[in-house]
Amino acid sequence: MTDPKKPGKLAGTPKDSHYAKLRRAYRDEKAGGTPAFRSRPAQPPGEQVEDGLVRLYGLHTVRAALDNPRRKIRKMLVTRNAAERLGIEDVAALSFPAEFAEPRDIDKITGSDAVHQGVLIEAEPLKPKRLDALGETNLILVLDQVTDPHNVGAILRSAVAFGAGALITTARHSPTESGVLAKSASGALEHIDQIEVRNLADALGQLHEAGFQTIGLDSDGPAELEETFSGEKIALVLGAEGKGLRQKTRETVTALARLDMPGAIRSLNVSNATAVALYAARKFLK
């Protein structure tokens, strides 16, 4: 029933009724304000830590960090369930400070959107190696300004799965180590040498001197990747999505090649393209 004194207004509806509040919230959202319907406010991620530490979370990520003698861990928060899944019987026996926590306590640190699985550590970032410290390997990856941490994490995971010996990135225009990157890598961050260079073209030249064939992945490459392989050492070079390889990189690599994709879509996400290229390279090198 409407109020005859105020046409269109429900009779007996309080000024601040739930219905009225929802209408105002909806108008606010349309104007760019706080979203009208949200079960609870999302916690923002907390990547910044004092003293240059990084926050790593997730069962696979933390398990790999615990098993890596090069990883210096400074603190751990863990739920009792996660501790059991990690095989930790007594947190007091660990070589670094650790304490039990509730999932919501970790949410406040990582952000509620992070899938932390009940465990968080603060640790020193791993130090990138120099190119002249490249160990004995016949397969490596080179990234030309791939900046998305999710993509780089997924690339690290594929690199370790297919036995690549190192990942080379540039000092600038590459993501720093973070919880997001490490979670996407699912522990791979601890299992592969990461090499940082200042000048990618110079680095490719050094790889040539070391006997590597450098192959740049390009959707318009003149030949299919499998037809391009030669020699006993391969470095796959991939660029960022959208812009791809920079011109200087294209001019410096040994060859440009494309993945054979007969379907309607002629390109892949860079992390997916990396996995396919690694599989092909590993098959050739066997």
Q: Is 178:47 a contact under the CB 8 Å cutoff?
A: yes
pLDDT (tens digit per residue) in 243-253: 899 999 999 99
Nearest alpha-carbon partner for 66 in 46, 48, 93: 93
> Taking residues 248-277, what's their average pLDDT?
94
- The average confidence (pLDDT) of the chain is 87
> Taking residues 153-165, what's their average pLDDT?
98
CA distance 191 to 261: 31
Report the range of poorest mean pLDDT among 41-55, 97-111, 224-238: 41-55
Residue 48 has pLDDT above 50, yes or no: yes
Q: Is 226:284 a contact under the CB 8 Å cutoff?
A: yes
Report the range of poorest mean pLDDT among 43-47, 130-134, 214-218, 234-238: 43-47
Question: Is 207 in the same domain as 181?
Answer: yes
Nearest alpha-carbon partner for 158 in 78, 39, 40, 278: 278
Residue 129: CB atoms within 10 A of its CB come to 15
Question: Is 160 in the same domain as 269?
Answer: yes
Taking CA 207 as the corner, what is the angle to CA 201 and CA 212, rounded to the nearest 5 degrees? 125
> Taking residues 43-58, what's their average pLDDT?
72
**Domain edge (last residue) among 72, 101, 123:** 123
**Domain edge (last residue) among 78, 98, 123:** 123
Q: Is 272 helix (H, G, I), strand (E, B) or coil?
A: helix
Does any domain span residue 188?
yes
Residue 262 has pLDDT above 70, yes or no: yes
pLDDT score, position 266:
81
β strands within the chain, DSSP E:
2-3, 6-10, 54-57, 73-78, 98-100, 119-123, 139-144, 166-170, 193-197, 213-217, 223-224, 234-239, 255-258
Q: What is the DSSP letter of 244?
A: B
Q: What percent of the chain has pLDDT over 70?
A: 83
pLDDT score, position 50:
67
What CATH number should be reported for the domain holding residue 61? 3.30.1330.30
Question: Is 203 in the same domain as 246?
Answer: yes
Question: Is 205 in the same domain as 281?
Answer: yes
Residue 153 has pLDDT above 90, yes or no: yes
pLDDT score, position 40:
36
Residue 266: CB atoms within 10 A of its CB come to 11
pLDDT score, position 17:
53
**Domain edge (last residue) among 100, 123, 146:** 123
User: CA torsion, points 117, 121, 127, 128, in degrees to nearest 10?
Assistant: 10
User: What residues have CB less than 8 Å from 128, skipping those under 6 apart?
Assistant: 169, 194, 195, 196
What CATH number should be reported for the domain holding residue 252? 3.40.1280.10
Range(s) of the domain holding residue 98: 50-123
CA distance 281 to 234: 7
Q: Is the dihedral of CA 189, 193, 197, 200 positive or negative?
A: negative
Does any domain span residue 187?
yes
**Residue scoring higher pLDDT (51 or 214):** 214
